[in-house]
Amino acid sequence: MAKQFEKRDRRFLGIGVQSAIKGFFGGNALLSIAILLLICVFLGKEAFLFFPDHHKGLQLYRKSGQEYVDGMKRQVEDHADLNSLMAQAYFAEKADIAGREWGVVDAFGYLVDLAEDEGEDEIDAWADAREELEDAEEDAEVKRAESEARAAWGEKLGEILAKADRAEADRFGRLEAGEWERLKASMAEWDPVEEEPPAFVVQAEKDLKAKMGTFEAARNAFAAAVGPLNDLKETLRGKAMVVKEEAEADLTAVARKKALVEGAAASTNSEDRQRRLDEAAAIVIREKFPFAERTEVFYESKPEHARLAAEYLVALKAAMELVPRAPGSKEAEARLTQIRSELPDVLQDFSRNSVMVQEWRHDKPYGWWRSISAFFFGKDWVTNSSWHDFFGLLPLFTGSLLISVIALMVAVPFAVSAAIYVNQLARRWEQTIIKPAIEFVQAIPSVVLGFFGIMVLGTFLRELSQVEALSWVPGFPMAERLNILNAGLLLGLMAVPTIFTLCEDALNNVPRAFGEASLALGASKLQTVWRVIAPAAASGILAAVLLGFGRVIGETMVVLLVAGNKIAIPDFSEGIGVITQPAHTMTGIIAQETGEVDKGSLHWRALFMVGLILFVISLFLNWTAQRIIHRFRIA
Amino acid sequence: MSFVPQLNERSMNEINFDATPEPALPAEIPVMSPAKSRGTEGKEAAKSLIEIEDLGFSYDLGQTETLRNITLSIPKGQVTSFIGPSGCGKSTLLRCLNRMNDLIDTAKVTRGKIKIMGQDIHAADVDPIELRKRVGMVFQKYNPFPKSIFENAAYGMRIQGVKSQKVLAEAVERALKQSALWDEVKDRLNSSALGLSGGQQQRLCIARAIAVQPEIILMDEPCSALDPIATARIEELITDLKENYTIVIVTHNMQQATRVSARTAFFYLGELIEVGPTTKIFGNPSKKQTEDYVSGRFG
């Protein structure tokens, strides 16, 4: 008798079709989880190896004396910032109170350059003729030749003066009426051989000196104050560099020696073998690099540094005394006020750096916490440097954050109101146009958007920023075409579809009954949206914003092309105007630098660490969004 | 109850054909029903609050009429039930009374008019928002907002621009007392309305509707999602409320109609078959269709 309820499944190698299908789908799910885990493990491993290497690097930075030299370097750099303000003040004053004289001297310089350039042959001929005349004063022939040469020069000068371009000579329009003509006329007095300026110019130079003499002295004294300290720094810098290079070579000595010996053994050319063996013999293998001995020079320089630092403070004070109390120019006064207000901070930093320099010891242990915070809170990201590579996340993080915040500030109002409009207020035909149009933005490749940002938006923004009527806007006129604002606007555009779609879903999930109940109570459509629908969808909208944030902070191509890629913490002193500065981002730096680093190097690991942090940020945003949606779900 | 909610248009037509040997001409009914009501309750016609005159209504811009030739007057201060099998148009008619059907783009009144307190509610100068403030509605599925109990009850006041906390608190307390919910929730007015039981939520919806003191409350099967005990409480509440409000209730539950309403209107396939005092409709209906329906022979 045939069995009644026999399995009718076809089998292959003992596996039924049903279980094969089940296995296929289950296997796929498992595979994707496994790949995700692998990525996490790989990323985590490579990234966390960064910290030991980074720590070693920073230890070497201290032991080699680079840290010591950088203390002085910061002192010199702080001074340079002040010095540039001083120069601005000086030139503003010069333009304002001695503009005429400055204009005359400048225009004269232009005319001299032009004449010497154009009339070179005539001047040379005249000079030769005069030389000959000196030797043979009585010779009529020579006399005649000299006067001919002089006439030729005179003629040439006339031509040159006719050609001279006033706009070029007096680019800032400092000359007063008639002075250009007077200057040209006085050029006849100018002797191109002796290079004596005409009396008119001599007078102007004298006036200029009378007006600006003290300020110029002050400025020069100010600039020169740091000179000796800078010289000391430069000398020590070279020494620290040598120590570092030798110490690094020492670390690889064993490996290099081994490689050379092996290479010699494998070499067939006896000359080559000998060369390799000699090189290998030259490599000294030391138990320990004698840092104490090699850094003695730094300890010896400490008293000198102390002396120069004290001298600097005295010189700076003296220079500040020289600066005119009441400059004639508003601009100069503003700059000088700025210098005076910044001076206490600079001096405080100076003495802090002095203390650091004086207390520096090559063998002071470098704390783990310090090297970790040097990554997370470090203000410099300097790579491929011959001096020392710094891996500080802060400039990249700030850039990413600023750009994302701007992007969200642009995208959220647009996307949320568009979603509310489409979902609640729009007519059907409007829905059929708006929804696909917004979602289409997602289809634009980010590189195309970046290209648009460079070619169109950047140019437009800069031209807009140069409009006189808009000069009150913070950060306007903007110096850079590629900057945070530009990148933020484009990323905002990219985030709109993400936020819009998720928001619309959130609004759709609000039960219709809420809207009906509100309308039946006599609420208008807008009141209903504002008081019932939007609050009920608020958690979904918040989640949409967070996911949009995740999208924006992870975006690479646009920021790489448009953000300006300047690795520095933007200057927040301008307030909101900070957004017109260029910046670099965490995603951008990975895209830009990964291609050119050695596998396994500290730089490589640093990039992985940045990647890991991005991953963690995205993970956190997604997780939070999920939590919010889950928690506030309406039954 | 033995109605079949899933009846489609075609099967309904078949039933119509079988169950009504004498064809009910559309023109006859409007003539007959007012005549009947005038005869039996001539006094109430004067107090009539809602007058529906020869109403025709379509969900698809007039291609097919969901309601046809409805002529009905609803008296003030009473509970009126709309009964009839699923798809007969009773809910549609209810939603015409506060113009909730306006929310459907293709919905349209094809003929006739509805007068509430003597005013044609479809007149050009009528704002449906103002209308809905006077004609409250309670839905089949309780739908309090995801807000606190207080905010739910105060919602109608808030959208009318009432800001004074004192006025709001008084109105909320009055509404919650009228809807017999006050004692249960007075200690947790600020907790979420979604934490209440189903029956409490429906009573909160009633409180929300009466907080703005409308003239009329429309109830669209208010008990169909509730258990018998909660249903009994709502019915009790409806009986209390008729003192102050005119109530129109759509129900599938014929016992409910007999318990709560003074008058009953029976609808079938978009037409008003019969209207009269509840006792007459259930005890001695003048139409065969009505009798078949109330005796449970179909529907």
Instruction: Spell out which chain B residues touch chain A, with contact meaning CB-CB distance below 8 angstroms.
Output: 98, 100, 103, 105, 129-133, 136-137, 139, 141, 143-147, 155-156, 158-160, 194, 205, 208-209, 212
Whether the CB-CB separation of A503 and A544 falls below 8 Å is answered with yes
Print the domain residue range for A39.
8-48
Write out the two tokens for A595. Answer: 């291609």
Whether the CB-CB separation of A608 and A589 falls below 8 Å is answered with no
Count the neighbouring beta carbons within 10 Å of the beta carbon of residue A269: 9
Q: Are residues A458 and A555 in the same domain?
A: yes
Residue contact A516–B156, C-beta within 8 A: no
Q: Which pLDDT does position B299 carry in this prediction?
A: 62
Please give the mean pLDDT across all residues of chain A. Answer: 86
Whether the CB-CB separation of B50 and B76 falls below 8 Å is answered with no
In a domain, A218, yes or no: no
Helix axis angle, A394-420 to A586-593, nearest 10°: 120
* Residue of chain B minimizing CA distance to A536: B146
Cα–Cα distance, B216 to A74 (Å, whole number): 82
- Long-range CB contacts (< 8 A, 24+ apart) of B226-233? B226/B142, B226/B198, B226/B199, B226/B202, B227/B198, B227/B199, B229/B199, B230/B197, B230/B198, B230/B199, B230/B202, B231/B199, B231/B256, B233/B180, B233/B199, B233/B203
Q: Mean of the pLDDT values across residues A281-297? A: 79
- The total number of structural domains in chain A stands at 3
The CATH number for B42-141+218-294, chosen from 3.40.50.300, 3.10.105.10, 3.30.2420.10, 3.90.1010.10, is 3.40.50.300
Cα–Cα distance, A260 to B67 (Å, whole number): 101
Pick the more confident residue, B22 or A197: A197
Whether the CB-CB separation of A570 and A397 falls below 8 Å is answered with no
Q: Which pLDDT does position A591 carry in this prediction?
A: 92
Cα–Cα distance, A280 to B88 (Å, whole number): 104
Pick the more confident residue, B286 or A8: B286
In a domain, A163, yes or no: yes
pLDDT in tens, chain B (299 residues): 333 334 344 444 444 434 334 443 333 333 333 333 333 444 444 478 899 999 999 998 888 889 988 999 999 889 999 999 988 889 999 999 999 988 888 888 998 989 998 889 988 888 989 999 999 999 998 899 988 999 999 999 999 988 999 999 999 999 999 888 899 998 999 998 988 998 899 999 999 999 998 999 999 999 888 888 889 989 998 998 888 899 999 998 888 999 999 999 999 988 999 999 999 999 889 999 899 898 887 76
Q: In this structure, what DSSP letter does residue B192 have? A: B
Q: Which pLDDT does position A2 carry in this prediction?
A: 60
- Per-residue burial over A402-423, b = 16 or more CB atoms within 10 Å of its CB, e = otherwise: bbbbbbbebbbebbbebbbebb
Residue contact A518–B208, C-beta within 8 A: no
Q: In this structure, what DSSP letter does residue A584 have? A: -
Q: Are residues A118 and A29 in the same domain?
A: no
Whether the CB-CB separation of A484 and A582 falls below 8 Å is answered with yes
Q: Minimal CA–CA distance to A191: which of A179, A199, A180, A203?
A: A199
Instruction: Spell out which chain A residues touch chain B, with contact meaning CB-CB distance below 8 angstroms.
Output: 427-428, 511, 513-514, 516-524, 527, 531-532, 535-536, 634-635
Per-residue pLDDT tens over the stretch A426-447:
888 999 999 999 999 889 999 9
Q: Are residues A34 and A149 in the same domain?
A: no
Q: Are residues A34 and A110 in the same domain?
A: no
Count the neighbouring beta carbons within 10 Å of the beta carbon of residue A450: 23
Whether the CB-CB separation of A50 and A606 falls below 8 Å is answered with yes
Write out the two tokens for A363. Answer: 């063998």
In a domain, A268, yes or no: no
Cα dihedral A177/A178/A179/A180 (nearest 10): 100
Q: Which pLDDT does position A478 carry in this prediction?
A: 83
> What is the CATH number for A529?
1.10.3720.10
Whether the CB-CB separation of B145 and A514 falls below 8 Å is answered with yes
Per-residue pLDDT tens over the stretch A404-430:
999 999 999 999 999 999 998 888 899
Pick the more confident residue, A47 or A37: A37
Q: Are residues A125 and A200 in the same domain?
A: yes
Residue contact A516–B98, C-beta within 8 A: no
Per-residue pLDDT tens over the stretch A530-584:
999 998 898 889 999 999 999 999 999 999 999 988 998 888 877 888 888 999 9
Per-residue pLDDT tens over the stretch A71-109:
889 888 888 888 888 888 888 888 888 888 888 888 888
Q: Identify all chain A residues contacting B139, using CB atoms and an 8 Å cutoff.
A: 513, 516-517, 520
Q: Which pLDDT does position B39 carry in this prediction?
A: 38
Q: Mean of the pLDDT values across residues A271-288? A: 79
Cα–Cα distance, A249 to A247 (Å, whole number): 5
**Which residues are bridge partners to B248 per DSSP?**
B80, B218
Q: Identify all chain A residues contacting B101, using CB atoms and an 8 Å cutoff.
A: none
Q: Which amino acid is at B223?
A: C
Whether the CB-CB separation of A539 and A455 falls below 8 Å is answered with no
Q: Which of A429, A507, A521, A632 is most worth mutating to test chain B (most B CB atoms within 10 A of its CB)? A: A521
Q: Mean of the pLDDT values across residues A35-55? A: 88
Q: Is A537 exposed, middle or buried (0-12, 13-18, 19+ CB in 10 A)?
A: buried
Highest mean pLDDT among A108-117, A323-332, A548-557: A548-557
Residue contact B145–A517, C-beta within 8 A: yes
Q: Mean of the pLDDT values across residues A4-16? A: 73
Radius of gyration of chain B, Cα coordinates, nearest whole angstrom? 19
* Residue of chain B minimizing CA distance to A526: B159
Which residues neighbour A470 within 8 Å (Cβ) at sequence distance 6 or greater? A464, A476
User: Count of A–B CB contacts within 8 Å?
Assistant: 68
Q: Is the dihedral of CA A280, A284, A286, A289 positive or negative?
A: negative
Residue B99 — left, alpha, or beta (φ > 0 → left; ψ -120 to 50 → alpha)? left
In a domain, A267, yes or no: no
Confidence of residue A210 (pLDDT cuts 50, 70, 90): confident
Residue contact B130–A511, C-beta within 8 A: no
Cα–Cα distance, B100 to A201 (Å, whole number): 92
Residue A275 — left, alpha, or beta (φ > 0 → left; ψ -120 to 50 → alpha)? alpha
In a domain, A35, yes or no: yes
Q: Which pLDDT does position A3 carry in this prediction?
A: 67
Write out the two tokens for A78. Answer: 């702080």
Q: Are residues A25 and A142 in the same domain?
A: no
Q: Is the dihedral of CA A526, A530, A533, A534 positive or negative?
A: positive
Q: Which pLDDT does position A89 carry in this prediction?
A: 86
Whether the CB-CB separation of B194 and B142 falls below 8 Å is answered with no
Write out the two tokens for A470. Answer: 């808009």
Cα–Cα distance, B58 to B95 (Å, whole number): 13
Q: Which pLDDT does position A325 carry in this prediction?
A: 79
Q: Are residues A36 and A137 in the same domain?
A: no
Per-residue pLDDT tens over the stretch A125-184:
888 888 888 777 777 777 888 888 888 888 888 888 888 887 888 888 788 778 888 888
Count the neighbouring beta carbons within 10 Å of the beta carbon of residue B86: 15
Is the pLDDT confidence value at A247 over 80? yes
Which residues neighbour B151 within 8 Å (Cβ) at sequence distance 6 or greater? B145, B158, B193
- DSSP class per residue in A510-529: S-HHHHHHHHHTT--HHHHI
Q: Mean of the pLDDT values across residues A210-226? A: 85
Write out the two tokens for B23. Answer: 């064809």
Q: Are residues A105 and A196 in the same domain?
A: yes
In a domain, A229, yes or no: no
In a domain, A492, yes or no: yes
Per-residue pLDDT tens over the stretch A51-77:
988 898 888 888 888 888 988 898 888
Pick the more confident residue, A298 or A491: A491
The alpha-carbon gap from A628 to the nearest alpha carbon of chain B, in Å, equals 16
In a domain, A537, yes or no: yes
Residue with tokens 């003191």, as numbered in its chain: B213
3-state DSSP of A276-322: HHHHHHHCCCCCCCCHHHHCHHHHHHHHHHHHHHHHHHHHHHHHHHH
* Residue of chain B minimizing CA distance to A527: B159
